């Protein structure tokens, strides 16, 4: 009789622990969503594929949503990353990625000179006195690509644009996962661009 009670108590504890882990998993899954749908890739196209200097042109929609514009106007620099990969349709078993790269563009508002700035790699800086002209230029990315991977059979380009807050050191990064996303954080959907020769 005592053995049956012990087994029953053990079964109840294991069932309770499973439920607790399921709840924790659901909390981790839904606790920190990125701002989805506010910033989207309006257009992405390849230019100059036949020449030796191809580049990817990406136009964003909704880049300066209110919370991001507020952070910018307070003088805080905002780094936006554009993740690009050249892939091929998987016809074999190994990795289809031919090339991967991340471009970082920095937006800044200088509180002293009242000028908006865009910094592109490598060390290219443009200044704009008005927000409208700055906003038009800021949403258009022109990204150089290597020409050799684009020549492969069935090659295509994938692009995603995002801005994420700086990760914290372990174990603080586990705590930061439970906190809400920073006001200027966003992530677009990944867009596929076909290579037309």
Domain spans in the chain, listed from the N-terminal domain onward: 1-30, 35-194
pLDDT of residue 88: 86
Q: Are 60 and 161 in contact (CB under 8 A)?
A: yes
Predicted confidence pLDDT, tens digits, the chain (197 residues): 545 554 556 656 666 666 665 545 544 444 444 444 489 999 999 998 878 889 999 999 999 888 888 989 999 999 999 999 999 887 566 667 889 999 999 999 999 999 999 998 777 899 999 999 999 999 999 999 998 888 877 889 999 999 886 554 455 555 555 555 667 788 999 999 998 86
Q: What's this model's pTM, rounded to 2 decimal places? A: 0.72
pLDDT of residue 27: 45
pLDDT of residue 93: 63
Phi, psi dihedral angles at 131 (to 5 degrees): -65, -35
């Amino acid at each position: 009789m005592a053995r049956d009670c012990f087994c029953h108590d053990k079964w109840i504890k294991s069932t309770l622990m499973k439920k607790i882990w399921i709840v924790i998993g659901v909390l981790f899954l839904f606790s920190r969503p990125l701002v989805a749908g506010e910033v989207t890739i309006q257009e992405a196209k390849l230019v100059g594929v036949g020449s030796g200097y191809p580049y990817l042109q990406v136009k964003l929609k909704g880049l300066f949503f209110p919370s991001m514009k507020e952070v910018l106007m307070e003088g805080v620099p905002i780094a936006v990353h554009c993740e690009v990969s050249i892939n091929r349709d998987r016809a074999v078993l190994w990795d289809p990625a031919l090339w991967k790269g991340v471009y970082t563009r920095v937006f800044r508002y200088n509180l002293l000179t009242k000028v908006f700035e865009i910094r592109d790699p490598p060390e290219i800086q443009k200044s704009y006195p008005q927000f409208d002209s700055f906003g038009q230029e800021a949403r258009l990315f022109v990204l150089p690509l290597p020409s050799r991977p684009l020549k492969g059979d069935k090659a295509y380009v994938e692009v995603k644009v995002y801005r994420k807050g700086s990760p914290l050191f372990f174990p603080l990064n586990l705590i930061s996962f439970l906190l809400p996303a920073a006001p200027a954080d966003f992530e677009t959907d990944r867009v596929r661009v076909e290579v037309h020769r």
